[in-house]
Amino acid sequence: MDKRETGFLKVLADYSFPEKQVVINPNDGFDLGLMMTEATVLLYVGDSIEAILKKNGEPHYARLYQKNECRLGSVELSLKCVEKMGEPTHVRLHLLPQDPYPKLLVVPE
């Protein structure tokens, strides 16, 4: 399985963020192999990669944005997504390439 991942990213949860939006710094996006400023992904959030892949729950179509305004080493998520994971302070993003949209797994660390 060709999987790319970021280092540990500090979670910034925001009430105003839609659940289907993830924002990272372009340097963190480079770790995922992303070259475009925004991409459509299948978003999965959970407590571990194995749990996410095993239950293969219903993903949300989401937009992953790379913005310089986002601090390096941080990820901006909706408060609802963060609450689903148990309100972690740090997560790691894992990108699993597939067509037509890659899977983006958000896993607390």
Q: What is the CATH number of the domain that holds 51?
A: 2.40.40.20
What's this model's pTM, rounded to 2 decimal places? 0.91
pLDDT class of 104 with cuts at 50, 70, 90? very high
What span, in angstroms and rounded, lies between the C-alpha atoms of 93 and 85?
13
Q: For residue 73, is it left (φ>0), alpha (ψ between -120 and 50) or beta?
A: left
Q: Is the pLDDT of residue 75 over 80?
A: yes
User: Quick one: pLDDT at residue 76?
Assistant: 97
Query: Looking at the 3D structure of the chain, how many domains does it have?
Result: 1
- pLDDT band at 57; cut points 50, 70, 90: low
Task: Show the domain range for 46.
Answer: 4-108
pLDDT band for 82, please (50, 70, 90 cuts).
Answer: very high
